[in-house]
Amino acid sequence: MSIQTVHVPLGDRAYDVRIGRGLLAKAGAEIARMLPRPHVAILTEDRVAAAHLDTLKAGLEAAGITSATLSLAPGETTKSWDGLTRAVEWLLSERIERQDVVIALGGGVIGDLAGFASAIMRRGVRFVQVPTSLLAQVDSSVGGKTGINTLHGKNLVGAFHQPSLVLADIDVLDTLSPRDFLAGYGEVVKYGMLGKSDFFDWLEINGPAMAAGDKALRAEAVRVSVQMKSDIVVRDETEQGDRALLNLGHTFCHALEAATGYSDRLLHGEGVAIGCALAFEVSARSGFCSQEDPSRVRAHLKTMGMKTDLADIPGDLPDADALLSLMGQDKKVIAGQLRFIMARAIGEAFVTADVSPEIVRKVLAEGLAARTT
């Protein structure tokens, strides 16, 4: 399987996303041309470091590149002011210069944190994303959203800072648990639902073999997802319009994540899948799309063995009004009005404020009622 490239044409911030097998071991050859001196700083977390750091360092050393590493605790709490302070102070103590490159080796937490640290360290150094989760490969490593969580919520402090290169090594996906793989798949299937119905058709056929481990299918799914993300980011880098489409299912997801305390009761990608099913149900009830579309979405998620309905979330959930109120905290609120990503069909999402809260409440209430029957 050859390495494929998706180019993200953002003018003087353009970069390549390289997708294929064995990229960690080839990292030195991929990165060397970017470096004024053969030395990099690697930010990672302990679980990822145990699985992949030696391979990455050997890949760098093969091209004569030395490295220093800071490994932080795994988990969302690292994406915090404390984590940011540690990362930036460490980069400064390592005397990382303006022309040097920081490597983010990890999932979305490390990518967002290392990206933000790179955005502000010496007023901006370049960074390379080496995403190790499916979710990070298809979403968070591409597009330049970086940041941390605060007491007030997730991703509320950050910067747009595009990476200079993304290395998506398909082999690292082998080390994911089936649950983590499927959570990442929630973001993959989102692309089919929001903008490319033939990709959704393809996933219906190929999704199960991909989840079972077929690497050529995994590489193709990552390539198509990254290409779609690139197309949208290039149209609307700072989310003034179309980029919000990437948040299909996310308004519901963010409310459900808050309601479950950002715990492992619900992983982000699982919430995205449930949120997409809810968004299609609300779209159908609002007359935007046919009733067959939400049924088809749910059928595919269920075939993949994914969480699909509110009933699939373990433990207590608040009532529909409380969930609606949590949805009101969404970043897409403008002048107090919530905007939704709805769909006219599978592959045709659009942004609208014209959604009846009554319909949303009813869909949520029915989903919650199904938990007790």
Catalytic positions: 123, 145, 187, 229, 239, 243, 247, 250, 254, 268
- φ, ψ at 314 (rounded to 5°): -70, 155
Nearer to ligand GLY, 20 or 143 (CB): 143
| Nearer Cβ to ligand GLY (241/315) | 241
Q: Minimum CB separation from ligand GLY for residue 14, in Å? A: 17
Choosing from 52, 57, 196, 243, the residue that interacts with ligand GLY (CB under 6 A) is: 243
Nearer to ligand GLY by Cβ, of 56 and 232: the residue is: 232
Residue 6 neighbours by CB under 8 Å, 6+ apart: 16, 17, 19, 223, 226, 227, 230
**Residue 221 contacts ligand GLY per CB under 6 A:** no
Least distance in Å: CB of 23 to ligand GLY? 22
CA 97 to chain centre: 29
CB of 200 to ligand GLY, least distance (A): 19
Among 246, 255, 343, 364, binds ligand GLY (CB under 6 A): 246
Determine the Cα angle at 192 with ends 188 and 194, to 5°: 105
Q: Which stretch binds ligand GLY (CB under 6 A): 72-80, 138-146, 175-183, 338-346?
A: 138-146
Q: Which is nearer to ligand GLY, 53 or 244 (CB)?
A: 244
The residue range among 137-145, 159-167, 292-300, 344-352 that interacts with ligand GLY, by the rule CB under 6 A, is 137-145
Closest distance to ligand GLY from the beta carbon of 326 (Å)? 19
The neighbour count for residue 5, using CB atoms within 10 Å, is 12
What secondary structure, in 3-state letters, does the chain show?
A: CCCEEEEECCHHHCEEEEEECCCCCCHHHHHHHHCCCCEEEEEEEHHHHHHHHHHHHHHHHCCCCEEEEEEECCCHHHCCHHHHHHHHHHHHHCCCCCCCEEEEEECHHHHHHHHHHHHHHHHCCEEEEEECCHHHHHHHCCCCEEEEEECCEEEEEEEECCCCEEEEEHHHHHHCCHHHHHHHHHHHHHHHHHHCHHHHHHHHHHHHHHHHCCHHHHHHHHHHHHHHHHHHHHHCCCCCCHHHHHHCCHHHHHHHHHHCCCCCCCCHHHHHHHHHHHHHHHHHHCCCCCCHHHHHHHHHHHHCCCCCCHHHCCCCCCCHHHHHHHHCCCCCCECCECCEEEEEECCEEEEECCCCHHHHHHHHHHHHHCCCC
List binders of ligand GLY among 139-158 (CB under 6 A): 139, 143, 145
Rounded Cα–Cα distance for residues 121 and 163 (Å):
14
- Kindly determine how many residues on this chain lie close enough to bind ligand GLY according to the rule CB under 6 A: 5
Q: In the complex, which residues of this chain contact ligand GLY (CB under 6 A)? A: 139, 143, 145, 243, 246
